[in-house]
Amino acid sequence: MELDDAGLNPERIAAAIHDQLGEAGGAVPVQDIARRLDITEIREMSFNGVEGVLITTPERPDGMIAVNARSSAKRRRFTLAHELGHFLMTHHRMVGRDGFRCSRSDMLARVEPGDAATAGLHLGQEAEANRFAIELLAPARRLKRYLHRPPDLARVLEISDAFEISREAAARRYVEQHRDNLAVLFGHHGRIIYLQKARGFPWITRAAAIRCPACPTELPGSRRWSRPTRPTGSTGRPASSSAPRSCASATTASSSCSMPR
């Protein structure tokens, strides 16, 4: 597999991989891809506070990747893709003498294009590895069939199953790619942990530590989009045909608002 012409852009590198894979259906074979790109060993190991490790050298002749055996299979796939991103983006500076060690928060790093210059080296390259990972595992070109209908958390679950990525990753991807201005709240034990919103979503600016909104209960799994009648809050923007919609996220038996991961 040759990526010499893809440059350093995460999405272009992932697209170059898919160009060579062809349009095969099903979940992206990330382990096979990693091995064909000189990852000589992939291990599952039990870590505390670390999701993935890449052992390599600055020149990247080859590498070894370890993923956290305690995480779900879908999350391990994302971690493997994230570490492969560090391996392929040779401008990423190693964290230690022998490679990269990436935490759960690293896997959530996201930097808006306009903020790249001020994000800092670590956050910037973690965000790039995440951009590569999601484009590799759920390529935009294969997501279109899930995006042409009005927002529905059922589509998030379909994306999670079809691409074998976590529901959390699928929800973030859905919000990012959908034409409407969407936001999704992630919560645990009734408290919002964080908010992922489209760039144009104007009216939730601070979500951490706020109690989750009540979840609907009429569906198994209690998942549904709720739609505010008009945006309120700091921006005071009027409602429009592309008015933002918020997501009262899915539920688990133990928590009224957390999305099963």
Binding site for Zn ion (CB under 5 A): 102, 106, 126, 129
Q: What is the dihedral of CA 165, 181, 19, 83, to 10 degrees?
A: -40
- Closest approach of Zn ion to the CB of residue 82, in Å: 5
SS3 call for 42? strand
- Closest approach of Zn ion to the CB of residue 156, in Å: 24
- Residue of minimal CB distance from Zn ion? 102
DSSP code of residue 94: P
Distance CA 22, CA 169 (A): 24
37-53 burial by CB neighbour count: b if 16+ within 10 A, else e? bebeebeeeebeebbbb
146-181 burial by CB neighbour count: b if 16+ within 10 A, else e? beeeebebebbbebbebbbbbbbbbbbbbbbbbebb
Nearer to Zn ion, 173 or 178 (CB): 173
- Closest approach of Zn ion to the CB of residue 36, in Å: 21
Nearer to Zn ion, 134 or 247 (CB): 134
Nearer to Zn ion, 52 or 231 (CB): 52
Distance CA 40, CA 61 (A): 10
Nearer to Zn ion, 52 or 187 (CB): 52
Contact 55, 83 (CB under 8 A): no
Nearer to Zn ion, 45 or 239 (CB): 45
- Closest approach of Zn ion to the CB of residue 64, in Å: 15
- Closest approach of Zn ion to the CB of residue 233, in Å: 33
